[in-house]
Structure 1
Amino acid sequence: MDVLSDAVAAMRTGRPHSGLRDKYAPWGLRFQAADGAGFHVLLRGTAWLVPSRGEPVRLGPGDVVFLAHGRGHVIASSLDAEPEEVGLESDGGWPAMHTPSRDSTPDAVLLCGAYLLDRSRAHPLLTELPEVVHLPARDGADGPLHTAIELLRAELSAPQPGSDTIVSMLLDTLLLYILRAWWQRAGRESAGHPTGWAAALADPGITAALRALHADPAHPWTVGELGLRAGLSRAAFSRRFTALVGQPPLTYLTWWRMTTAGRLLREDDTPLRLVAQRTGYTSEFAFAKAFKREFGVAPGQYRRRAS
């Protein structure tokens, strides 16, 4: 399994949503805090992104901003523009927003999107992201990222049969391209000495171990076995994994098993016996005990709450 894809899939709930907005100066949009993450792509014009924490960010054509932590923010034509309140619907969709019909070219065109996330099991890949991930177009065109943006823009501008599914898939693709571009840039900007998950993803040995335990969380992994996957001695692997990932290998494995169990319980009616097997527990009783210790409720109760 790809660790980045797996981490995002574990947190995702519901369908992502997106929309195009033509804006005429002066304009402003205030997005309320939400259980999810969102992005804005400025397709035309200039704007300011004002996060709830930190300094405003000047945006130019082609710039992408990703807000991973669900906090409120404003995007506007200028810092003194009066923003219009925007609150997402309960399913994460966009409310109808009235834009006056005009013959003139809009001053700005925005492509906005939102993802619903389960923050109770937030993966550190996302929790350690900054308040605003800003990917300026001037830093050089990221081919796949901007190709995905153009495909999404085309589907939203002129929906065709199948567009609902295509848009949902493109939004998932776009999220992964944004995160990949950020982690790659973080690695470059660290002058060859990345830290945290940027370093973990850049380390071939640690990445090999992470891929192994993500691919088969039910396997009875040992530190020595994971060290062999990483090409390191047991002690050297344990030190490096803990330093980069932030948890010892088997602590991370347990956390990932429980995160995987939570996703399985949310998404379908897989019997508890099979959920236990897929997450490395030899009995349903042992799994239920470990799950309740981690989540504070029994697996069946967790499933009913999530339904």
Structure 2
Amino acid sequence: MDAMSQLLSGLSAHGAFVLRCSLRSPWAMRIEDEAPISVVAPVRGHAHICPDGADPVLLNAGDVAVVRGPRHYRVADEVDSVPQVLIRPGQVCIDLAGRDTPPMSEVGVRTWGNAADGDTLLLDGTYESQTSVGHRLLRNLPELVVAPREHVPGALVDYLGVQMALDEPGQEAVLDRLLDLVLVAVLRWWFAEQAGDGANWYRAHADPVVGRALGLMQGDPAAPWTVASLAARSGLSRAAFARRFTELVGEPPMTFLTTWRLTVAADLLTEPGMTVSAVARRVGYSTPFAFSTAFKRLHEVSPQHYRDRQGIA
């Protein structure tokens, strides 16, 4: 499996929240849903995304934005437009509109807004569960990625919009898969754009020495890897390998391996039926106690507490 596939393998929408927003100016929405990832795409008109404490970003028709939570933000026709609605976790909608402002309401199948024929049509797809995204992906993303329309297949975004307005058998599965495809298209472009920017996993995977070592550790995290064994597999001395790895990845080999094991462990813990002991073995820890200690050091909660928090039986 190549580097990009490894990173995106945990991405799978399950009953994602998808909605078309038909909006007539002036309009604005305050988003405090704290979702792991949301996809925002105007197919008609434009929108500004205004993250708290950061500069606003303009989206034109065809652009696609990926917003990583939990930071709050506004989506609006203009930067200074006053929010008419507040969206809280669970997509709870709180009306903020004044007496003379058209309220937001349903105006069609999976279509919501202040006008059935608004000058702006905005697609929103929200991954409400972190287990649908995966820690490996989230830890590599900034809080906002905007892909210009020339880098995302317009036909794919348009088709997602068409399917949002339908209510047919299997529609939820269709929408989940289409949302995944749109998100993957944006992220493939963004990671490729970052490939030459300093120490990062993407650039490191392209290196014949470090890329091989990364593939070995990521492909078999339970193996008893050491700097010496990885260096031997790469054909370099221990010191030369460690220096090259740290330069490209941004951290020493064993630090990367520990973080990788515990990141994989977090994903495994979300799978029904996986015990803490089983996960410990899958990621290379000889005892549940050693695994729990390391997991809590990175994730700040015990593995069992983490499972309980995710609602996994």
> Same fold, TM exceeding 0.5?
yes
Counting only pairs closer than 5 Å after superposition, residues 214-225 of structure 1 correspond to structure 2 as 214-225=218-229
Q: Which runs of 5+ in 1 are unaligned?
A: none
Provide the residue aligned with 1:265 in structure 2. 269
Distance 2:305 2:139 in 1: 27
- Relative to the length of structure 1, the TM-score reads 0.79
Task: Tell me the amino acid that sits aligned with residue 235 of structure 1.
Answer: A
Provide the residue aligned with 1:85 in structure 2. 85
Relative to total residues, which structure has the larger helix share, 1 or 2? 1
Greater Cα shift, 290-299 or 6-15: 6-15
Residues 40 and 122, structure 2, Cα contact 8 Å, conserved in 1: yes
Confirm or deny that 1:26 pairs with 2:43. no
Cα offset for 1:157? Answer: 1.9
Q: Give CA-to-partner distance per residue, 1:139-197, whole Å, 9 cap, x none.
A: x3444xx444233223212232111112122223332222111111233xx5xx64434
Distance 2:7 2:194 in 1: 18
Distance 2:152 2:124 in 1: 19
In structure 1, the residue corresponding to 2:65 is in which secondary structure?
strand
In structure 1, the residue corresponding to 2:34 is in which secondary structure?
coil
Residues 47 and 77, structure 1, Cα contact 8 Å, conserved in 2: yes
Confirm or deny that 1:161 pairs with 2:169. yes
Q: Which runs of 5+ in 2 are unaligned?
A: 95-103, 106-112
Cα offset for 1:230? Answer: 5.2
Provide the residue aligned with 2:46 in structure 1. 46
Counting only pairs closer than 5 Å after superposition, residues 180-191 of structure 1 correspond to structure 2 as 180-187=188-195, 190=196
In structure 2, the residue corresponding to 1:87 is in which secondary structure?
strand
Number of equivalenced pairs: 292
Distance 2:141 2:165 in 1: 31
Residues 68 and 141, structure 2, Cα contact 8 Å, conserved in 1: yes
Cα offset for 1:302? Answer: 3.7
Q: Give CA-to-partner distance per residue, 1:38-71, whole Å, 9 cap, x none.
A: 2211111122222223322222110111222431
Counting only pairs closer than 5 Å after superposition, residues 134-283 of structure 1 correspond to structure 2 as 134-137=146-149, 140-143=150-153, 146-187=154-195, 190=196, 194-227=198-231, 232-283=236-287
CA distance 1:133–1:201, shift in 2 (3 Å): farther
In structure 2, the residue corresponding to 1:267 is in which secondary structure?
coil
CA distance 1:81–1:284, shift in 2 (3 Å): closer
Greater Cα shift, 39-48 or 277-286: 277-286
How many percent identity over aligned positions? Answer: 35
CA distance 1:227–1:106, shift in 2 (3 Å): farther
Distance 1:42 1:268 in 2: 37
Q: CA RMSD in A?
A: 3.2
